Chains A and B, each alone.
Chain A
Amino acid sequence: MSTEEQSLTGEQMNSLEKVKKQLKQVFGETTDLAVEPVDVGQYKGLMCYLTTMTNSAFIMEHVVKKLAMSEHKEPISKEETFQQLEISAYSGLSHQTLQNIDDVMFKIVLGNAAIFIEGCAQVLVLDVRTLNSRSIEEPSTQNVVRGPKEGFTESADTNMSLIRRRFNNVKLRFEKYELGYLTHTAVYMAYLDGEVDEEILKQVRETLSSSHIDSLFDSGRIEEMFHSKGKGIQLFPTVYSSERPDAVCSCMINKRIAIIVDGSPFVLIVPTIFPDFFQSPEDEYQWVVIGVFSRWLRYFAFVLSLIVPALYIAVTSYHQELIPSVLLTSIAAQREGIPFPASIEILLMEITFEILREAGTRMPRLVGPTISIVGALVLGEATVQAGVVSNINVIVVSLTAISGFVAPIYTFGSKVRFFRFGLILLSSLIGLYGLVLGCCLLMVQLTRIESFGVPYMSLFSRWDKRRVT
C-alpha cells in the first residue's frame, strides 16, 4: 500500500498519461469529468474539473483565458512557470498547490479545477465552483417542513450538479444514454460505484440501452418501461420517483441507482421496495420517535384508505353483529330513509370524490375555491340534508379520501386508491369474506412482485441482502 502511495506523489507524478490513467481509475467513466489538454507556457499541461460543479463560461473566462495570457517569450523552467501562474494569473482566484494526488482528486470533487504540468510534481488547484444560474425551486409534490427546500428542475445538468454537490465522493458515477430515435433525450444513470449491486446495474444498463422508443419527454415513460419489465401483473408501483435531491441521495447511499432524464424534474430510483413509498426524507431530519411514528401513521392511513369503505359496507350490510350496539343504533338511525343500499351509496360518493379530485388537479388555479365550495357545501352538506346519502357515509368517504393522500409519494397514492373500488365490489358481494380475500390478494401481490430481482416486500430481511435472481 505504502509503496503505491509513494508512487502517486512526488517526482513520480510527472507523466500526463499517467495522470489521465489515475483520473480514469478514480473517477471511472463518469460523464461529468472534463479532462482537457492545455498549453501552460511552453509546456504541455492538463486541466481537469467536474462539469457538474462549475459552468463552462466561468472556466473560459477565469481559467482558460488567463492561461492563454501567461505565455512567455524566453524559456523558463517548469517551477518558474508554475510560480508565474500562481502569482500573476490566478491571484484573484482561491488557489492551492498540492502534491498528493489523492488530495487533488478530492479537491476536484469539491468543485475545483486542477492544472497539471507535464513532469511537474506540483498541481495547481483552483476553486472554480460556481452556483448555477438556474433558479431552483421548492418541489411541488413532495413538501417538507424541516429539510432542504431544493427541488430538481427540468435540466438534467442542474439535476446532476444538485446530486454531485451532495456527494463529495469520487465514487459517484454518471453514465449517459441517449433514448428516443427522434428526440435523442439524454438519460443519465447515477450511482455510487462499489456500493451498488453489479447485477442490478447490468439489468438497468441493458434496459436503458435496449429500449425502443421514439420519444421521451418525462421520466414517467422510463418508469413504465422498468415497471413493465417485471413478470406478471404488478399492481403496485415498482419505481420510486422523487423531486427532492436529498431523498435521491439518501437512496443512493442505500445502494440504489438514480435515473435522471433531461426534461423531467422527477428522478427515478431503482430498485424500489414497498417501504420506500412510506418514507419521507423528513423522517431522517427529526427526532427518531417522530419519524417512526409518522411512518407507522402512513402505513395505517394506507390501510385505512384501502379498506374503510369496504369494511363499512361489509359490517353494515352483512355483519351487523360486529358493530357495538350503540353505534349500530346511531348508524341505523342515519340510514333510515336513505333510498340506496350502503354499497351503492358509498360507490356514488367515492366516484363523486374522484371527479372532484380530478377537477381539482386539472383546473386553472383561479377556479380552485369555486370547486372546493361546490364540493364541500353543495355535495357534502346538501346530499346529507336531502337525505340522499347518510352522514356516516360522508364521514367514511372523507376519511378514506384524506388517508389516501397521506402517502408521501403522490403516484403511489393515486395508483393504490383504485384498489379500494375492487374491495368495495368484493365486500358488497360477499361481505367480510370478500374483503379478506381481496386484502389477501393484495398481500400476495405485494410479496410476489420483484423490482430488478429484489423482492418488493419482505419483512425479515434487508433489501440488499435478499436479491433472489
Chain B
Amino acid sequence: MKTCRVFLVLILCTAVVLGGTGCWDQTELNKASMVTGMALEPGDNMKYKVTFEIVNALETDPNKGGKGGTPTVIFSKEGNSIAEATQRINENLERMILISHFRVIIIDERLARKGINQFMDVLQRNRYVREDVIVLVGKGAPASDFLKTVYARGLYAGYKIQTQVETYRKVYGGVPRSHLFDIAQALLTEGRGLLLGAITISGDVEKSESLDAIKTISPAAVVKMAGAAVFRGDKLIGYLSNEHTRMVMLAGDYVNNTLFAIPGPGGKQTSPGGIDVQFYHMHAHMHVKMNGDKPKIVVNIQGDGKITSIDRNMKLTTIKGYETIEQMTSNYVNEQMQETVSYVQKKFGLDVFGFGQHYYRYHFRKFKPIAKEWNSLFTRADVEVKSNFTLRRPDLKTQKVEKEQIGP
C-alpha cells in the first residue's frame, strides 16, 4: 500500500510537470545553430553592427559530405547594444543561435579606438561566452571581412583563426595571449597596458566569400597575424609588429618556444653567415626597483635550446663553439629587447611589459604612491637585459657541411 501511494505521488508529479509547459530550457540541436565567430563593428545607422559566423552543421560533417554548400553563413545585425543586436539576429535567421561555442571575437579598429570597455561587460557577464574566447583586433579591414574568408580545409573562419593564433603563439610567440579573461585581468590590475592580438587580411575578400575561392592553390584572401594592438586604458593607440610583440611577450614570460635568427657578421639583418637558434624552454624573470625617481628594471632571460642552422664555418665539436654561439645569441636577444623597450617607451609611453604589475605585486607599499604616474616613470626607466642561454645539442651535424681545403 505504501509503495503504491509513493508511486502515485511520483506519477502525479510527473503529470503535473508534463502538464505544465515542460521542457523549458530545451534547445534541440537540430533547431539551433552554432556560432563560431563574432565580429563587432560600428554600425551605419545604429551604435554597433554585430556579425555572426553561423555553422551549417550538415556541411561540416566529413562522413555525410554535405551538399557542397558553404560550411558557414554570415549574418549581420545592427543594434544599439551588442545584446540587442544578438537577440535580433533572428530577424534574418530561422534558428536559435548557440553562442556558447564561438572561438573568436574580432573587434573593428574603429570601435577599438573609441574604447572597448563600453561593450565588454555583456561578454564577461554572459555565462555562455567562454572565458578563453580569443579577442582580436582587425587591423586595416572591417571586422566582418575576417569572417568572410573561406578556407580550403573546409573549416570555418572562426576556428581557423583561433587555431592559427594559438599555433603561432606556441611556435613563435609573436602574438599576445588575448583571451577574454586576459582583458579583464589587464584592465583590472595595476601597471600593465592591455595588449590584444591583431590580425590583418591580405588578398581579395570579395572573391574569398565564394566557395570557388578554395578550389585554387593560393587562397584568394588570407588572414594574417599582425602582432599586437596596444591599448591605453581601453582605447586602441597603435600596433606592435610581430617581432616587437614577441620580445614583449618574452619579457613577461609568455613565450616558451621560439627561434632567433642571428644575422651574420656585417651588422645588418641581411648579411650572410647567419645562425639560427631554436629554444624550447624559455623563462624570463623581471626585477623592478626604484632608483630615486627612476625605475631600474632587470630582465633575466633563460633558455634551453638547440642549434638549427649555421651558415658559416664554426666547429660544434668544441665547447668553445657552443660558448661563442651562446654569447652571440645572448647579445642579439639583449639588443632586440633593448630596442623593443626603447621603441615602446618612445612610441607609446605605456608599460605593456607588465613591469609595473610586477612592482605592484611584489612591492605593493612602494608602488601605491606612484601608481598614477607609473607610465611616465616607465618612459624614463633603465632597462637592463641579462640573458643566459644554454644550447644543448647540434642536431645531426657537427659543423656546416663544407669541403675541407686540401693542400696549401
**Chain A in direct contact with chain B (Cβ < 8 angstroms):** yes
A431 to B23, CA, bound (A): 8
Q: Does A316 reach chain B (CB closer than 8 Å)?
A: yes
Q: Does A374 reach chain B (CB closer than 8 Å)?
A: no
The answer to whether A321 and B23 have CB atoms under 8 Å apart is no
Q: Does B58 reach chain A (CB closer than 8 Å)?
A: yes
- A 413-431 contacts with B by CB, 8 A: 425, 428-431
The answer to whether A430 and B103 have CB atoms under 8 Å apart is no
A37 to B2, CA, bound (A): 55
- As a 0/1 sequence over residues 144 to 188 of chain B, the CB contacts with chain A under 8 angstroms (1 = contact) are 000000000000000100000000000000000000000000000
Please judge, given known A-B contacts A325-B103, A329-B34, A336-B57, whether A429 and B27 are in contact too, CB under 8 Å: no
Q: Does B361 reach chain A (CB closer than 8 Å)?
A: no
Q: Does A342 reach chain B (CB closer than 8 Å)?
A: yes
Q: List the A residue with the shortest CB-CB distance to B101.
A: A325
* Chain B residues closer than 8 Å to A318, beta-carbon distance: 25-27
Please judge, given known A-B contacts A233-B6, A325-B103, A329-B34, whether A425 and B14 are in contact too, CB under 8 Å: yes
The answer to whether B57 and A342 have CB atoms under 8 Å apart is no
- B 1-49 contacts with A by CB, 8 A: 2-3, 6, 14, 17-18, 22-30, 32, 34, 36
Query: A-side interface residues toward B, CB under 8 Å?
Result: 232-233, 316-318, 320-321, 325, 328-338, 341-342, 425, 428-431
A325 to B24, CA, bound (A): 24
Q: Does B213 reach chain A (CB closer than 8 Å)?
A: no
Number of A-B contacts (CB under 8 A): 78
The answer to whether B100 and A320 have CB atoms under 8 Å apart is yes
The answer to whether B26 and A332 have CB atoms under 8 Å apart is no
Query: B-side interface residues toward A, CB under 8 Å?
Result: 2-3, 6, 14, 17-18, 22-30, 32, 34, 36, 55, 57-58, 60-61, 64, 98, 100-101, 103, 127-128, 130, 159
A73 to B177, CA, bound (A): 113
The answer to whether B26 and A341 have CB atoms under 8 Å apart is yes
The answer to whether B64 and A333 have CB atoms under 8 Å apart is yes
Contact of B29 among A325, A332, A428, A429 (CB under 8 A): A332
5 contacts between A and B (CB under 8 A): A232-B2, A317-B26, A320-B27, A333-B60, A428-B23
A332 to B159, CA, bound (A): 16
The answer to whether A338 and B61 have CB atoms under 8 Å apart is no
A317 to B27, CA, bound (A): 5
Q: Taking the nearest CB of chain B, how far is it from the CB of A91, in angstroms?
A: 67
**What does DSSP make chain B's interface, helix, strand, loop or mixed?**
mixed
Q: Taking the nearest CB of chain B, how far is it from the CB of A79, in angstroms?
A: 70
A162 to B101, CA, bound (A): 63
Contact of A335 among B6, B18, B29, B101 (CB under 8 A): B29
A430 to B24, CA, bound (A): 7
* Chain B residues closer than 8 Å to A428, beta-carbon distance: 23, 26
Please judge, given known A-B contacts A328-B101, A329-B60, whether A341 and B28 are in contact too, CB under 8 Å: yes
Q: Taking the nearest CB of chain B, how far is it from the CB of A259, in angstroms?
A: 24
Tell which of B24, B30, B36 has the most Cβ of chain A within 10 Å.
B30
A428 to B17, CA, bound (A): 11
Q: Taking the nearest CB of chain A, how far is it from the CB of B373, in angstroms?
A: 43
The answer to whether B57 and A332 have CB atoms under 8 Å apart is yes
Q: Taking the nearest CB of chain A, how far is it from the CB of B64, in angstroms?
A: 7
A430 to B14, CA, bound (A): 12
Contact of B22 among A330, A338, A342, A429 (CB under 8 A): A429
* Chain A residues closer than 8 Å to B17, beta-carbon distance: 429
The answer to whether B29 and A317 have CB atoms under 8 Å apart is yes
* Chain B residues closer than 8 Å to A332, beta-carbon distance: 29-30, 34, 55, 57
* Chain B residues closer than 8 Å to A335, beta-carbon distance: 28-30, 57
A409 to B17, CA, bound (A): 35
A328 to B156, CA, bound (A): 14
A423 to B58, CA, bound (A): 30
The answer to whether A320 and B101 have CB atoms under 8 Å apart is yes
The answer to whether B25 and A333 have CB atoms under 8 Å apart is no
Q: Taking the nearest CB of chain B, how far is it from the CB of A314, in angstroms?
A: 10
* Chain A residues closer than 8 Å to B29, beta-carbon distance: 316-317, 320, 328, 331-332, 335, 342
Please judge, given known A-B contacts A329-B60, A333-B64, whether A342 and B28 are in contact too, CB under 8 Å: yes
The answer to whether A333 and B58 have CB atoms under 8 Å apart is yes
* Chain B residues closer than 8 Å to A232, beta-carbon distance: 2
Q: List the A residue with the shortest CB-CB distance to B103.
A: A325
* Chain A residues closer than 8 Å to B98, beta-carbon distance: 320-321
Contact of A329 among B55, B64, B130 (CB under 8 A): B55
A341 to B28, CA, bound (A): 6
* Chain A residues closer than 8 Å to B64, beta-carbon distance: 333-334
A333 to B66, CA, bound (A): 9
* Chain B residues closer than 8 Å to A430, beta-carbon distance: 24-25
A326 to B130, CA, bound (A): 15
Tell which of B3, B23, B64 has the most Cβ of chain A within 10 Å.
B23
* Chain A residues closer than 8 Å to B61, beta-carbon distance: 330, 333-334, 336
A185 to B207, CA, bound (A): 88
Q: Taking the nearest CB of chain A, how far is it from the CB of B70, in angstroms?
A: 14
Q: List the B residue with the shortest CB-CB distance to A422.
A: B10
Q: List the B residue with the shortest CB-CB distance to A322.
A: B100
A144 to B79, CA, bound (A): 68
* Chain B residues closer than 8 Å to A425, beta-carbon distance: 14
Q: List the B residue with the shortest CB-CB distance to A326.
A: B159
Q: Taking the nearest CB of chain A, how far is it from the CB of B74, in angstroms?
A: 17
Nearest first, the 8 A-B pairs at minimum CB distance are: A333-B61, A321-B100, A332-B57, A333-B57, A335-B29, A336-B58, A335-B30, A325-B101
A269 to B127, CA, bound (A): 52
* Chain B residues closer than 8 Å to A337, beta-carbon distance: 30, 58
A321 to B35, CA, bound (A): 11
* Chain B residues closer than 8 Å to A316, beta-carbon distance: 29
A338 to B28, CA, bound (A): 11
Q: Taking the nearest CB of chain B, how far is it from the CB of A311, in angstroms?
A: 15
A233 to B101, CA, bound (A): 44
A337 to B32, CA, bound (A): 12
The answer to whether B30 and A429 have CB atoms under 8 Å apart is no
A273 to B36, CA, bound (A): 50
A316 to B32, CA, bound (A): 11
* Chain A residues closer than 8 Å to B127, beta-carbon distance: 321
A334 to B58, CA, bound (A): 7
Q: Taking the nearest CB of chain A, how far is it from the CB of B159, in angstroms?
A: 8
Q: A318-B26, A332-B34, A431-B25 are in contact. List 15 more A-B contacts (CB 8 A).
A: A316-B29, A321-B127, A321-B128, A328-B34, A331-B29, A332-B29, A333-B57, A334-B61, A334-B64, A335-B29, A335-B57, A336-B58, A429-B22, A429-B23, A430-B24
